[in-house]
Amino acid sequence: MPEKQSQRQQRKQKQDATPETYEYIVVGAGTAGCVLARRLSEDRTHRVLLLEAGRPVPAEPVPAPAAWPSLLGTAADWGGTTVPQNTGGSPIPWPRGRGLGGSSAIGGMTFLRGHRSGCDAWTAGGAKGWGYDDLLPYFKRSENVTGVRRRDPASRGTDGPLRVAPAARRHRHPLAQAFLAAAVQAGHPRACDLAAGLETGFGWADLAIADGARQDAARAYLRPVLGERANMRVITDAFVQRLLLDETGTSPRCTGVAYTVADETPAEDAPRHASSHTARCSPGGEVVLTAGAVGSPRLLMSSGLGPREHLQDVGITAHLDLPGVGCNLQDHVVSGVVHRSARPVPESENNHAEVQGLMRSDPRATTCTAPDLQLGIADLPVRAAGLPGPGPGAGYTITVALLSPYSRGTVRLADADPATPPSIDPCYYADHHDLGLMTAGLRAAREIGMAPALALWRGEEELPGRDIADEEGLRAYLRSNLHSAHDYAGTCAIGTDTDAGAVVDTELRVRGVDGLRVADASVMPTIVSANAEATVYAIAERASDLLAH
């Protein structure tokens, strides 16, 4: 063998025997994962590995913002459903992003911080350092609202990676304008900057859309630095199956991950094969889970970190009994009042949901300022399969979402195989308070729907229908027309040592395990009171500081 070739081979063998190690292994290149990979790799002495189960791009060509629902069910979506819910037994679709950008790459692009009371409730519950004022610098650091009038730089960011703004005036949907006027006529306050998290009332929501294009975590955070940082490595099609644990010390230490990489698809319909790999942390390095509110607890449990009894049931040896993993699952449940439109509804140039309102179900309550309902306008009919009503272009919906659900659900493993989809049970309406709050929301939506400003649009109320007015009828309707807002949260909650349900401490370290953190939507102790994405960006921004210091 020629000498040069033999030297090359020896070098390669040596590299294989001493695989590269990383200061940070980030699992899941979704909303939080893209933020962390970018921030952690800013220090060029840190080697960062970002592993993502999905493909590099969500779909080709990436559809215009208004076509976002067409991404659901594609390769960019894990395509899961819940177990049958108490609504007559139907599973509910539970899309989750799969690919660079994760759910931010397939989501609805409404960009609102939860009302400040949501984060303040976390600190009141023991999550010290996670109140609204603590998170404010991180909310600001993620966003760029430059050029938007009526945005106060004291509360809004002007140089973050993510460009956000309300729908531009010339592209606003006429129904959204009429809805906003109708809400004010119905007595609701007009909010100036709903996205700041400081107000209740109705107003133009910020959208993660700039120059007519979706702004997701991959586009904003990752792509600008991809290829420019030798210390950051991104592997797609890489499904992390389990965490590597060293149990020789007093407490287990996470030392890396085991993952498979799917081969390039050779041809249509050909089965994809996968090769097995491990990635290891350098001494003192850490694994950070950003696999989302389903993916992170799933991976912990597949690795033997979770509720002991459940792990035993599915045949997994429990390395640590962490009862809170996969519990405390929360989501915003959505329904609404569907109207036939008296005139054709123009196609949306944005995300179908430009105006939102945060309100209290009981406006007389003075002791609490936290909004518990979110009402909005959708320029299309929002109805479950099988329900009657107008088709697209012929109807609209005043949507109602429950911001502060009492019900709690679970993410559970179906078996010991890490590749088997987990069992997801959000337990919608399991707590009777939730239906009561939602019927109050339907009544408020009806009132706005009958306001003069919507007169030109208003046709028949198709759902629930004017003849359904009593509490029982409205509750039955809510059970039949039930949707998820896809704001899944809470399954690896932050908490204190005395809180048996806490999965991570206030620095996001998994309790009882060294070298392992969770930093995504799953760490919210309670779901925020608006769409979740803006808060996930802030959580990840803060996590990057916690990791770096």
Give the footprint of ligand FAD on this chain (CB under 6 A).
27-33, 51-54, 72, 95-99, 102-104, 106-110, 238-240, 290-293, 295, 299, 486-487, 520-521, 531-534, 536
| Helix, strand or coil, per DSSP, at residue 508 | coil
Give the residue with the Cβ less far from ligand FAD, 38 or 446.
38
Residue bearing tokens 């009777």: 432
Give residue 521's identity as a one-letter amino acid code. A
CA dihedral (156, 158, 159, 162) positive or negative: positive
Closest by Cα among 549, 526, 535, 522 to 134: 535
Give the residue with the Cβ less far from ligand FAD, 53 or 454.
53
Q: In the 8-state DSSP scheme, what is residue 351? A: -
Give the residue with the Cβ less far from ligand FAD, 203 or 464.
203
Give the residue with the Cβ less far from ligand FAD, 335 or 439.
335
Give the residue with the Cβ less far from ligand FAD, 101 or 395.
101
| Helix, strand or coil, per DSSP, at residue 66 | helix
Give the residue with the Cβ less far from ligand FAD, 413 or 474.
413
Tell me the sheet residues that pair with 289: 27, 518
Tokens of 317: 């040896």
Give the residue with the Cβ less far from ligand FAD, 293 or 305.
293
Q: How far is the CB of 371 from ligand FAD (least distance, A)?
A: 15
SS (H, E, C) 93-127: EECCECECCHHHHCCCCEECCCCHHHHHHHHHCCC
Q: In the 8-state DSSP scheme, what is residue 219? A: I
Q: How far is the CB of 390 from ligand FAD (least distance, A)?
A: 23
| Helix, strand or coil, per DSSP, at residue 143 | strand
Give the residue with the Cβ less far from ligand FAD, 277 or 475.
277
Torsion of the alpha carbons at 5, 22, 291 and 309, rounded to the nearest 10: 110
Tokens of 219: 């586009």
Give the residue with the Cβ less far from ligand FAD, 22 or 457.
22
Q: Where do the DSSP E strands lie in 42-100?
A: 48-51, 80-81, 93-94
Shortest-Cβ-distance residue relative to ligand FAD: 30
Integer Cα distance of 134 and 338 in angstroms: 40
Are the C-beta atoms of residues 537 and 543 closer than 8 Å to each other?
Answer: no
Integer Cα distance of 483 and 93 in angstroms: 8
Q: How far is the CB of 198 from ligand FAD (least distance, A)?
A: 17
Are the C-beta atoms of residues 337 and 463 closer than 8 Å to each other?
Answer: yes
Integer Cα distance of 300 and 343 in angstroms: 52
Cα 317 from chain centroid?
Answer: 30
Give the residue with the Cβ less far from ligand FAD, 505 or 520.
520
Residue 177's H or E segment, with its range, is: helix 174-185
Report residue 424: phi and psi, to 5°.
-115, 120
Are the C-beta atoms of residues 394 and 340 closer than 8 Å to each other?
Answer: yes
The 10 Å Cβ neighbour count of residue 310 is 18
Give the residue with the Cβ less far from ligand FAD, 264 or 268.
264
Q: How far is the CB of 32 from ligand FAD (least distance, A)?
A: 4
Q: How far is the CB of 186 from ligand FAD (least distance, A)?
A: 24
The 10 Å Cβ neighbour count of residue 417 is 12
Give the residue with the Cβ less far from ligand FAD, 140 or 340.
140
CA dihedral (467, 333, 444, 169) positive or negative: negative
Q: How far is the CB of 488 from ligand FAD (least distance, A)?
A: 7
